[in-house]
Chains A and B, each alone.
Chain A
Amino acid sequence: MAKRKFQIFRGDSENGVLVNFETEVKEGMVVLDVILEIQAEQANDLAIRWNCKAGKCGSCSVEINGKPKLSCMTRMNEYFSDQTITITPLKAFPVIKDLVTDVSWNYEQNKKIKPVKLAPESKSEKGYVMYQEDVERVQEFRKCIECYLCQNVCHILRDHDKKDKFIGPRYMIRVSSLEMHPLDIEDRIPELKKDYGSGMCNITHCCTDVCPENIKITDNGIIPLKERVVDRFYDPITIIKRKIFGKKKKRLPPF
């Protein structure tokens, strides 16, 4: 087996350099295998987060040749054998050490979102009643593994660093998963406009492109939420309707 060349970022938020490594790459290896091999044999203290190694936990997000990816699901045969592979930490978050970044900001965003509240009248003796076709939309958003690749590429967060204005795509689809839950009766539309910054997103689909779970973040999650905000705050007819008839109730499944 031939040795392959790698450059891995080593350092912290203040100082850092790309360090050259060479290691053997065997058939079937993914980028995370390479990082762990280098860690075990050449740089014991090389910092990387990982857990499941099968694309289910979203821990090992890095940038490979500038592209945000899960290192456990990126096969080495995606690259030419003479190509040097550069591995750097997520750009949108402060580096703690090497490939590990401080993602605590994300956890703070989640806390802002009002939890699920199900309509008590739809509970039967055998639990809540909802139909597969009605939950599928929500199940798509719930596939999210919180790898934060979408947060990392969102230019509002990455290039403009407006973390105080926009909760980012991950949490937009978290809101979608609640707002589109067939039995949820909580209202999050005012916060969506005011606190979550739904107006900041200008639909460039960057988040959708990097999602390892192939969630259609922009089209299925963010755009419908933006429409709900527009309906509520900018559409004069619905505003008048709501003033007269009150808030529209969600459709409940029949018993």
Chain B
Amino acid sequence: MLDISEIKTIEHDVLIVGAGGAGLTAAIEASSQGMSTGIVMKSLLGKAHTVMAEGGMAAALANVDERDHWKIHFRDTMRGGKFLNVWRMAELHAKIAPERVRLLEEWGAVFDRTKKGLINQRNFGGHRYPRLAHVGDRTGLEMIRTLQDHGIHQGIQTYMECTALELLKNENDEVCGLVCMWRETGKFIIFKAKSIVFATGGGGKAWEITSNSWEYTGDGYALAYKAGAELMDLEFTQFHPTGMVWPLSVKGILVTESVRGEGGILLNSEGKRFMFDYIPERFRSETADTKEEASKWLSGDLNARRPPELLTRDVVARAIYEEVKAGRGSKHGGVYLNIASQRSAEDIKRKLPSMYHQFKILAELDITKEPMEVGPTCHYFMGGIRVDADTTMSSIPGLFACGECAAGMHGANRLGGNSLSDLLVFGYLAGKHATEYAKKIAVHSEFDADQVTKIIRSATDILNRETGENPYLLHEKLENNMQKYVGIIRTKDDLESGIDQLEKINKAYKNVRAKGASQFNPGWHEAIGLGNLLITSEAVARAALLREESRGAHTRADFPEEQKNWLNYNIIIKKGEDGKMKLAKVERPVPNPELERIAKSSIDALEKEIVEERKQEGI
């Protein structure tokens, strides 16, 4: 029999789950407010997915182009998100991002500099001005190391290689704890906490071709869902336009958007710069329509419009998909991305060192001489746990969410560079409000021992079965299914087939079995993560079936246009009382009129307004 009293219990005021940029920022904020703060992570400290972010963090610092302003950043974000973003989140993000980036510098980050010695900023898709603070193409590493090195002196308790299994709630349905498993020993541990912040990232590991690592199994979505929280916008999964396509073993690995930000062009097998044929109406007036204008922009002409390679990710990913489908793809089924013809070898090595290195070693290709082959790869979840914009609290009291696992900030499509800044802004807000929440609670709630027993049993059952499904092969089945039926272009028939298959995989999962003992057993860990991934996948597929339109990253071949009516709805997902997944089309609140005015202004009018404002303020 399982004896709960033998399991170690640790108490914290605020417990953070996930140690990427959002989780570390939240932990730093909570501990600086005097909270006893713990942070649980599946990997070692400093290895979270943030480390792979390359291009930069978007913030209207206006260091490179003085015309930049939070209003323009906000407008870009809303337009990129096809107006489905939570207005208030996009506002908070654009306003707070600059100060958080500067704070990172105070904590030791060493960004690339402008000639005047300020933080340098680069161009990126969908951003009107050079806006991304960066360090070559390893900005995520700089961010995570800075937060890590700052955080270790703050008294934060770190729990490395510790997997979150399930949330615990008290009799008032408030979050009060978390059951976890030490990966090293296979032993269990219970955390009691007054508030919990999820910063668990996304669930891209449900697809075969993805830029995500093994960690991205949708743990936050699944745990929150199982505890009764609402999820939102899950149909919006971003396929990054440029993942590696060759060799097969590296298929999906990210090729940073900075390659295009630094001038890289996309070509099909006929040598045509095809993006000129895919400029959407909404962006036509702000996008170059000739090669000549595009190259003027690259050489720094402020009056030239941006090249079409820097359209938003949803647009570029679909264009590549269409080119390949029409038989104009590259040798290995992608398209060509050429920076060699646009920049000197020295520039490329200086600005994109890790891309140079990555292609040189993994594909034996010199990007200063030859074009890369690239194609879409599942990259990011815009949707996630539904949160309050100001406090980041979910629909369960005491549970907060920030970063990729939270919904709302990016709407139907995220702009590159808005993720790292999202982590800084909403990580901070989550830490702040989880602290305020925890301060109001005098004593820790007691947890229900039966609930803990059940959670632990369902994990150990996987090890104790005599026979059963191989978790790795089952995961592969799931990946193939999502790639085939819930991919970049979706239809009703495909989605229904995908959901049917998911039900079969779910059934097989009930009999999943990990061989071996409980000590550092990746097969067991894989099986536990797979359970979360299945819930996540079902949510994505069902939401994608319900949204009968194409908007941002969600493309329905049977409903090819944006439907005005759908602009007023988000899809909310919740666990029903019968245990089945419930979806609802929930009307969006009326936007704040001032924010709506800003987002819908013409760029010229908005720029004039900012100039006037600055004059009056005497700047």
The chain A residues found within 8 Å of chain B, CB to CB, are 12, 26-30, 33, 39-41, 44-59, 73, 75, 96-98, 100, 103-104, 107, 110-111, 115-116, 118, 126-132, 135, 138-139, 142-146, 174, 177-178, 181, 253
Partner of A142, one of B46, B145, B362: B145
Contact of B361 with A by CB under 8 A: yes
Cβ contact within 8 Å between A45 and B521: yes
The answer to whether the Cβ of B52 comes within 8 Å of any Cβ in the partner chain is yes
Chain B 143-155 near chain A by CB (<8 Å), digits 1 or 0: 0010001101100
Q: Which residue of B lies closest to A76 (CB)?
A: B249
In the complex, residue of chain A having the shortest beta-carbon distance to the beta carbon of B357: A55
Complex interface: chain A residues within 8 A of B514 (CB): 44-45
Pairwise interchain contact B44-A103, C-beta atoms closer than 8 A: yes
CB neighbours (8 Å) of A28 from chain B are 246-250, 362-363
Quick check: A97 and B520 within 8 Å, CB to CB? yes
With A57-B51, A110-B152 already in contact, the answer to whether A97 and B213 are too (CB < 8 A) is no
Contacts of B140 in A (CB 8 A): 56
CB distance from A128 to the nearest CB of B (A): 6
Q: Is A129 a contact partner of B118 (Cβ separation < 8 A)? A: yes
CB pair B249–A45 under 8 Å, yes or no, is no
| Chain A neighbourhood of B115, CB < 8 A | 132
User: Given the known A-B contacts A110-B149, A142-B145, are A127 and B250 also in contact in the complex, defined by CB atoms under 8 Å?
Assistant: no
A-B interface, 8 closest residue pairs, ranked by CB to CB distance from nearest: A28-B247, A45-B516, A44-B523, A40-B472, A116-B108, A129-B117, A97-B520, A47-B520
Q: Contacts A115-B150, A138-B110, A142-B110 known; A73 to B249 CB distance under 8 Å?
A: no
B15 proximal to A (CB < 8 A): no
Q: Are A39 and B361 in contact (CB under 8 A)?
A: no
Chain B nearest CB from A154 CB (Å) reads 20
What is the interface of chain B, defined by CB distance below 8 A to chain A? 43-49, 51-52, 61, 63, 102, 105-108, 110, 112-113, 115-120, 135-136, 138, 140-142, 145, 149-150, 152-153, 160, 184, 213-215, 246-250, 253-254, 354, 357-358, 361-364, 470-473, 476, 514-517, 519-524, 526
Query: From residue B366, how far is it (CB to closest CB) to chain A in Å?
Result: 15
Judge whether B247 and A40 touch: CB under 8 Å.
Answer: no
Assess the A29–B141 pair: CB atoms within 8 A. Answer: no
CB-based contact B63/A126 at 8 Å? yes
Residues of A within 8 A of B107 (CB): 115-116
Do B361 and A97 touch (CB < 8 A)? Answer: no
Partner of A97, one of B47, B63, B108, B519: B519
Q: Report whether A126 and B215 are in contact in the complex, using a CB–CB cutoff of 8 Å.
A: no
Q: Which chain B residue has the least Cβ–Cβ distance from A122?
A: B117
Given A28-B249, A45-B524, A129-B117, answer yes or no on A139-B110 (Cβ-Cβ < 8 Å). Answer: yes
Contact in complex: A132, B112 (CB < 8 Å): yes
Q: Which partner residue on chain A sits nearest B113 by CB separation?
A: A132
In the complex where A28-B249, A45-B517, A58-B47 touch, is A52 in contact with B153 (Cβ < 8 A)?
no
State whether A56 and B520 are in contact (beta carbons under 8 Å apart), knowing that A28-B248, A129-B118, A145-B141 are contacts in the complex: no
Beta-carbon nearest neighbor of B247 in chain A: A28
B252 to chain A, nearest CB (A): 9
Pair A100/B520 contact, Cβ less than 8 Å: yes
Q: Which residues of A contact B150 (CB under 8 A)?
A: 115
Identify the closest chain A residue to B42 (Cβ): A51
Residue from B118, B153, B213, B519 in contact with A51 in the complex, judged by beta carbons closer than 8 Å: B213
Complex contacts, B246 vs chain A, CB 8 Å: 28
- Given known contacts A53-B253, A59-B44, A115-B150, is B354 in contact with A127 (CB within 8 Å)? no
In Å, the complex CA distance between A44 and B246 comes to 27
Question: Which residues of A sit under 8 angstroms from B364, Cβ to Cβ?
Answer: 75
B522 touches A129 (CB 8 A): no
Residues from chain B with a CB closer than 8 A to the CB of A111 are: 152-153
Q: Taking each of A12, A115, A253, which has the highest tally of chain B beta carbons within 10 Å of its own beta carbon? A: A115
Contact of A127 among B43, B44, B119 (CB under 8 A): B119
A142 B142 Cβ-Cβ under 8 A? yes
Contact B44 A30 (CB under 8 A): no
B46 to chain A, nearest CB (A): 6
A1 CB to nearest B CB, Å: 12
- CB of B218, distance to nearest CB on chain A (Å): 17
**Does A126 lie within 8 Å of B118, measured CB to CB?**
yes
Tell me the minimal C-beta distance from A61 to chain B in angstroms: 11
- A39-B523, A103-B44, A129-B118 are known; give 16 further A-B pairs, CB within 8 A: A26-B249, A28-B247, A29-B249, A39-B472, A44-B472, A44-B516, A44-B522, A45-B517, A54-B250, A56-B52, A57-B213, A59-B43, A73-B361, A97-B519, A127-B61, A127-B119
Contact check, A45 vs B117: say whether CB atoms are below 8 A apart.
Answer: no
- B472 contacts across to A, CB distance below 8 A: 39-41, 44
**Which one of A33, A127, A178 has the greatest number of beta carbons of chain B within 10 Å?**
A127
Specify which of A107, A142, A174, A177 is in contact with B45 (CB 8 Å cutoff): A107
Nearest to B463 among chain A residues (CB) is A45
| Residues on the A chain within 8 Å of B152, using CB | 107, 110-111
With a cutoff of 8 Å between Cβ atoms, the chain B residues found around residue A58 in the complex are: 47
* Contacting residue for B470 out of A29, A44, A128, CB 8 A: A44
Contact (A47, B357) CB under 8 Å given A28-B247, A142-B135 = no
> What is the bound-complex CA distance between A50 and B42, given in angstroms?
11
Residues of A within 8 Å of B108, CB to CB, are 115-116, 178, 181
B48 CB contacts on chain A under 8 angstroms: 51
Q: Do the beta carbons of B43 and A51 come within 8 Å of each other?
A: yes
> B105: which A residues are within 8 A, CB to CB?
127-128
Complex Cα–Cα for A144 and B141 (A): 9
Query: Known contacts A115-B150, A253-B117; is A54 also within 8 Å of B248 by CB?
Result: no
Query: Across the interface, do A27 and B248 meet the contact criterion of CB distance under 8 Å?
Result: yes
Whether the pair B135, A139 counts as a contact (CB closer than 8 A) is yes
A76 shortest CB reach to chain B, Å: 9
Contact A75 B250, beta carbon cutoff 8 Å: no
How far is it, in angstroms, between the C-alpha of A48 and the C-alpha of B519 when the chains are bound? 12
In the bound assembly, the distance between CA atoms of A129 and B515 in angstroms comes to 57
Contact assessment for A131 and B522 in the assembled complex, using a CB-CB cutoff below 8 Å:
no
The residues of B that contact A174 with a CB separation of less than 8 Å are 149
